Structure 1
Amino acid sequence: MTAVPRSQLVLALMSVFAGLTVVLAVLGFAYSPVALVVALPFGATTYALWYHASGRLRERARRNVRAGRRTTTERGGFGAGPREDWTGPRGGGGGRFGDTRQRRATRRSTGQSMRDAYRTLGLDPDADESAIKRAYREKVKETHPDTEDGSERRFKRVNEAYERLSE
């Protein structure tokens, strides 16, 4: 059995949802307007799957990252407020893990700037993805803590740089 690429699976799912949308829309016009209401979520799902399969979702996310726009919020869901204020149920002290493992959500650090990330990997800002991956692999081999000249701090910095550039 061979593996099917993800994009083909997404397109297959999109086709199924598109077919259901059409059938429900026809039934809605022919018999009952309730079927039209039911067809709306199927149509929205079809559009979302098409947006993902066409690559437009990825490009939009990359444009937002390059423009410096945040793609996620620093708030909890449903207006819960900033995450660093959350201390968990009943003040976060007790619970299933006891006082020793207090779980408190913290704000993600912004990490390195794009310029610092390129500098860390020793690249020019116009480097393509393959050059970034190649430079990352070389730097990881140099800075890994298990190597002779490696250090954990430099290794983490190289990983942060790669994550920043591959967003």
Structure 2
Amino acid sequence: MTIAVCPGSYDPITLGHVDVVRRARSMFDEVVVGIASNSSKSALLGVDVRVALARAAVDGIDGVRVEPVTALLADFLREVRANAVVKGLRGGADFDAELPMALMNRHLSGVETVFVVGDPALAHIASSLVKDVARYGGDIEDLVPAGVGDAVRDALGRRDGT
């Protein structure tokens, strides 16, 4: 059985993330969406909320599960017996950011990273931009799975959508 991990902070999960998970599932027997904390970012949503939102977003995609990553990704990869890490790329800047992490993860775990080019129709969607749009009252419903918009607005104190 081949197992891939799609790690990320998913703060919040977007339609672009779900697209990458679906396509990863077409290549691997099982995909584990690993919800991690990013030490260089301050999360808007708590890890429990991010896990719940991701589980709802991938519900119905057979062979996909969501787990929190509470340790070094290399340790998590061993724990779930992963054969690969899958990361989505929207453009060159994503590659530049992901390459050092892929090399470090391979160094620490022996697990290779597979880069999946994102759907061009979703390339403008980034979690940071989704939060910025929501922060200023913009509509994010067509950027995120159902329920995520409400969670983001709740976290921002903008439940009324304004």
Higher helix proportion (structure 1 or 2): 1
Q: TM-score, normalised by structure 2?
A: 0.19
Q: For the pair shown, which has the larger CA radius of gyration, 1 or 2? A: 1
Q: Larger RCO: Structure 1 or Structure 2 (Cα < 8 Å, ≥ 6 residues apart)?
A: 2
Higher strand proportion (structure 1 or 2): 2
Q: TM-score, normalised by structure 1?
A: 0.18
